[in-house]
Amino acid sequence: DPRTTPTTTEIMSDTNGFSDRDDRLAQFIDSHPALAEDEERRAAFLLGALVGRVAAYQNRRGISRTVIRQHPIDAMTRRRISTTLNKVLEKNAHYSEKDEKAGMLMNDRYITRLSDIVNRRTPEEWSLSTDDLRMHYGLGLTYGKNDDSTDHTDEEEPATADTQTDD
């Protein structure tokens, strides 16, 4: 049945030839008009992706209280974005400092894009509905948890096949 047969079995990084995770993120955003054309949705997605990356790091390190449990989709609102962002940035900086392999601030590809948006207009000023915010935050969580390196020589964190599933 052509409806259930995949048109390709190649993974995303094989088909698109991404040189690094930053390129892959930029291409993902550009290929989704809801993200590319609306910076509030993009910010919700980027925050979710950052939370997802930090959660994946915690999962690999055996840290049981993950940021996903602390910042679940159904609790996310415009008012909570700034608080969540500050807490996640603090954890990310802490893990970056502790991890000798990182050598720099981990997840900068999310942080830079997100801070650019949040510094233009605070989340409290956004017009994005709570449902829309939660959907794009959740999309970001999924993206971030699965944002493994495209080239194992330039990894920020060691990639594993296992991803966390406690959404």
pLDDT digits over 109-123, tens only?
999 999 999 999 999
How far apart (Å, rounded) are the C-alpha atoms in residues 60 and 162? 9
Could you report the per-residue pLDDT of 14-69, keeping only the tens digit for each? Answer: 334 446 889 999 999 999 999 999 999 999 999 999 999 999 999 988 887 789 99
Residue 57 neighbours by CB under 8 Å, 6+ apart: 95, 106, 157
How far apart (Å, rounded) are the C-alpha atoms in residues 128 and 39? 10
Q: How many other CB atoms are there within 10 angstroms of residue 23's CB atom? A: 15
How far apart (Å, rounded) are the C-alpha atoms in residues 102 and 91? 14
What are the domain boundaries of the chain? 39-145
Alpha helices, DSSP H only, in the chain? 12-16, 21-30, 33-36, 39-61, 67-70, 78-98, 108-120, 130-145
Rg (CA), the chain: 16
pTM of the model: 0.77
pLDDT over threshold 50, residue 8: no
